[in-house]
Structure 1
Amino acid sequence: MTRVPIAPHMLRWARERAGLEVEDLLARFKTLPEWEAGEASPTLKQLDAFARAVHVPVGTLFLPEPPDERLPIPDFRTVENRAVARPSPNLLDMLYVCQERQAWYRDFAQVTRQPPRAFVGRADRSMAPDEVAADIRATLGVDLEQRAACRTWKEALRLFIQQADQAGVLVMVSGVVLSNTRRTLNPQEFRGFALSDPLAPLVFINGADTKSAQMFTLAHELAHLWLNATGLSDAGAAPVSGGPAEEVWCNAVAAEVLVPLAALRPALADGESLGDAVPRLTRRFKVSSLVILRRLLDAGWLDRAAFEQAWQQERARLLALSAGAGGGGDFYRTTISRVSRRFTRAVVSSTLEGQTLYRDAFRMLGVAKTSTFNTIGREVGVML
């Protein structure tokens, strides 16, 4: 049996890169401690299995030193105003996949002679956030009363995504890498990103986040498209200072898109307690309680001290709730939402016209069967 001499520090790097402890892999690789200590070497078959378990190309493990893995787009994430360190393989793989999809759609848009989206780059940070927010709502046809009539946050999010899709934005929502449910995306690492392009503007939303948080992420990433600014975000509703100026501005735009002060002020009730006002307004605007708290501060209804106390309490409550959140849903709807309805229609149409191979279409859509492909084609109105 042939053993492969792999540097122990490369095995440790690959495991730590995947966010795993030795104990997490012992059931599959019983001699992993010996491999990492340099006391034993894996077989080629074991090395291949290990590489798949830690989501790294097997050839990378033969390098003398770990590669310098950098995010392929600007990183606006911060934790307590400090830049975030090493990206996870899940995040990197999701970024690369979305870049590939965007490149494909850009070519498709050129072939089908689609016009550039006029809203991409229509704003700059010298413009007032409320002015840009009004333009976003008008471009998407956002109707606050229509959103208020939605029965659930999920329904309101679906409406918001549909409006962005119809305006020409590829909105992709997933909580896992491709369709691998064992590779969950962590909202604490990132909440979304925007890949700006006049022909193929793309927004990715971390579907493992709460529905109300996803609403804010979409609004935030749309602001990035209006700036024509590609970037990775961990956007939250907090009115923070000291972070990247672009993120602070995009947060202000997003808050105004979802809860315009002109609509909020008439909805405020004199003498109402904060405990009654917040849940009532979250139901009215279909946003998170954190967004409502931020807008109450913006409107002067809360002072800074009261806001800070309420914010910390509510954030702790939401974190506790998210720990027990579950998944599920309709398979075909989930599959389409992962790649966007607009992208799905384009891929199915191109495949039926013979411009794209079925093999490539299956890979980009994350499906494995012709019957699934055909059902998805019917779902998006391309096939009968």
Structure 2
Amino acid sequence: MTVRVDVEPALLQWAVDRAGWDAETAERRAPKLGAWMAGDVQPTLKQLESFAQATHAPFGLLFLSEPPVENIPIPDMRTIGNARLRRPSADLLDTIYLCQSRQDWYHGWAQEIGLDEVAFVGSATTQTAPHLVAAQIRDVLHFDLQGRSAFASWEEALRRLIDRIEGIGVLVMVSGIVGSNSHRKLAPEEFRGFALADPYAPLIFVNGADTKAAQIFTLIHELAHLSLGSSALSDAAMTATSGPEEELWCNQVAAEVLVPLTALRADYRGTVAEGELERLARQYRVSTLVVLRRIHDAGFLTRDVYWKHFTEERARVIKLLAGRRSNEGGGNYYHTQPLRLSRRFAQAVLNSTLEGSTTYRDAYKLLGTKKQSTFENLADELGVA
């Protein structure tokens, strides 16, 4: 006997909107959706389960009388003025929930083995001058201008920054997908990153689908949020001139960490030609986009002129990076997974499991794997015996 289910059309539409499907995608992924919503026929239980899985909607919620209100579980700093943002996607929500779950585990583990609280978290307020916090960050991370000369490029600077931020006790996760699902790609247009404050397990997530140029700025921006002891979902847009006070303050800190204005004013040669931008980018080990922003901050470019050059340079950088990616292939899973998980977090889970404190079942869930061979190979990659 076929069991059919009575579902409110508004719930079906909620699931479609939450998944970010357009009309064409809905027709392709759920051909009978129109008939269900029109009331011409009811879905079978199996069809509804498949629909929930395809839209990443919690199956039980489809039996409600009206769509639930899903609030983002951390302060949303993307709101500008009174502008209303669209409903958060399933991909964004699931990414935050996954990181919160990992953070909860790490918090308990850190307390269990007697780790100290991370002193950097909550060490500043928005009343603290951004240049003072920036100087503190450069000092803590050993990221002063002289030390950067050891990095071959700003791409390498990003990788080393991640290592150094993890070195002070912060979990850094950089990924362009939800968990380990390569079919669920994150949209930089929705968010660039977020910070989850915690005394034992502060966490930064950077949207790896964004350009590397944006990622290095987002990384420091989210670190600034942690210095305030606050969680936040961020735009972290270098071009932002309005928005929540905390978000603008974090932008100022990030920009000053990467390119101190005092140094730039002495180094700048008075032109925004490509050669000059590249020279300064090499000197500071940042992207040309960050350089352009700081030239504007230093008062050398008006807002309109800056925006014109930024738009042109961003298009050039995206084209250049796209060409590089097309020649790189898919990459090695065991090289990328520690970056997605946080090397510090993954090593903790692996060690705890091998010591018998965490079950393999829980470890597989935390690490996003289903195979013992993957677990073992990841342990080898991270040097966990």
TM-score, normalised with respect to structure 1: 0.93
Q: Residue 22 of structure 1 contacts residue 32 of structure 1 at CA under 8 Å; is this kept in 2?
A: no
Q: C-alpha distance in 2, partners of 1:69/1:75?
A: 13
Q: 1:253-272 alignment to 2 at 5 Å?
A: 253-269=253-269, 272=271
Q: Could you say which residue in structure 1 is the equivalent of 2:25?
A: 24
Distance in 2 separating the partners of 1:276 and 1:48: 57
Gaps of 5+ in 1: none
Amino acid at match of 1:32: L
Aligned residue in 2 for 1:349: 351
* Counterpart secondary structure, 2:191: coil
Aligned residue number for residue 360 of structure 2: 358
The corresponding residue for 2:138 is: 137
Residue 336 of structure 1 aligns with an amino acid whose one-letter code is P
Amino acid at match of 1:91: L
Which whole-Å CA distance do the structure 2 matches of 1:354 and 1:208 have between them? 36
Q: What is the DSSP-based 3-state SS (H/G/I as helix, E as strand, rest coil) of the residue aligned with 1:116?
A: coil
1:272 Cα deviation from its structure 2 partner: 4.1
**Superposed CA RMSD:** 2.0
Distance 2:95 2:30 in 1: 27
Aligned-pair CA distance for 1:177: 0.3
Q: Is residue 297 from structure 1 mapped to residue 299 from structure 2 by the alignment?
A: no
Which has the higher mean CA deviation after the structures are superposed, 301-310 or 354-363? Answer: 301-310
Aligned 1:54-65 pairs, distance under 5 A = 54-65=55-66
Cα distance in structure 1, aligned partners of 2:28 and 2:86: 29
- Partner SS state of residue 181, structure 1: strand
Structure 2 residue ranges without an equivalent (≥5): none
What's 2:384 paired with?
382
Tell me the distance in 1 between the aligned counterparts of 2:186 and 2:125.
Answer: 31
Q: Which amino acid aligns with 2:305?
A: A
Counterparts of 1:222 and 1:171 in 2: how far apart (Å)? 10
Whether 1:43 aligns to 2:44 is: yes
Deviations 1:159-214 (A, max 9, x none): 11001011111001110000111111100100000001111110000010111211
Other-structure match for 2:181: 180
Quick one: which amino acid aligns to residue 132 of structure 2?
A: E
Match of residue 10 from structure 1 = 11
SS state at 2:107 partner: helix
SS in 2 for 1:82: coil
Larger CA deviation: 187-196 vs 154-163? 154-163
Per-residue CA deviation, residues 127-163 of structure 1 (Å, 9 max, x unaligned), is 1111000101111121434434433443221111001
Query: Helix, strand or coil: the match of 2:254?
Result: helix
Conserved? CA contact 2:134–2:257, under 8 Å: yes
The reply to whether residue 106 of structure 1 matches residue 97 of structure 2 is no
CA contact (8 A) 2:188 2:209 kept: yes
Q: What's 2:72 paired with? A: 71
Say if 1:161 and 1:246 are closer, same or farther in 2 by CA, change over 3 A: same
3-state DSSP class of the match of 1:204? strand
Give the secondary-structure state (helix, strand or coil) at the position aligned to 1:172: strand
Letter paired with 1:372: T
Cα offset, 1:337, TM superposition: 0.9
Q: Secondary structure at the match of 1:78?
A: coil
Instruction: State the alpha-carbon separation in 1 of the partners of residues 201 and 223 from structure 2.
Output: 13
Give SS of 1:17's match: helix
1:288 aligns with 2:287: yes
Aligned-partner SS, 1:183: strand
Distance in 2, matches of 1:275 and 1:80, equals: 35
1:125 is displaced (CA, Å) by 1.1
Residue of structure 2 in register with 1:53 after alignment: 54
Please tell me whether the aligned partners of residues 194 and 205 of structure 2 are also in contact (alpha carbons under 8 angstroms): yes
Q: 2: CA distance between counterparts of 1:101 and 1:377?
A: 18
User: Matched residues in 2 for 1:328 and 1:265: separation?
Assistant: 41
| % same residue | 53
**Greater shift in the superposed pair: 295-304 or 336-345:** 295-304
1-structure distance, mates of 2:28, 2:301: 53
Q: 1:285 to 1:330 in 2, by over 3 A?
A: farther
Distance 1:41 1:254, change over 3 A: same
Q: How does 1:331-346 map to 2 (within 5 A)?
A: 331-346=333-348
Q: 1:151 is matched by which residue type in structure 2?
A: A
SS in structure 1 of the partner of residue 301 of structure 2: coil
Q: Say whether the 8 Å CA contact 2:192–2:234 is kept in structure 1.
A: yes
- Given that 2:107 and 2:200 are in contact with CA atoms closer than 8 Å, whether structure 1 keeps it comes out as yes
Question: Mean alpha-carbon deviation: is it higher for 341-350 or for 136-145?
Answer: 136-145
Amino acid at match of 2:283: R
Alignment-derived partner of residue 172 in structure 2: 171
* Cα 1:16–1:288 shift into 2, 3 Å: same
Q: Judging changes above 3 Å, is the alpha-carbon distance between structure 1 residues 320 and 273 closer, same or farther for their aligned structure 2 residues?
A: closer
Distance 1:8 1:299 in 2: 55
Query: Aligned residue for 2:305?
Result: 306
The Cα of 1:296 is off from its aligned counterpart by 0.5
Per-residue deviation, 1:318: 5.0
Q: Normalising to structure 2: TM-score of the pair?
A: 0.93
Q: Do the aligned partners of residues 380 and 286 (structure 1) sit closer, same or farther apart at CA in structure 2, a change above 3 Å counting? A: same
- In terms of mean alpha carbon deviation, does 283-292 or 187-196 score higher? 283-292
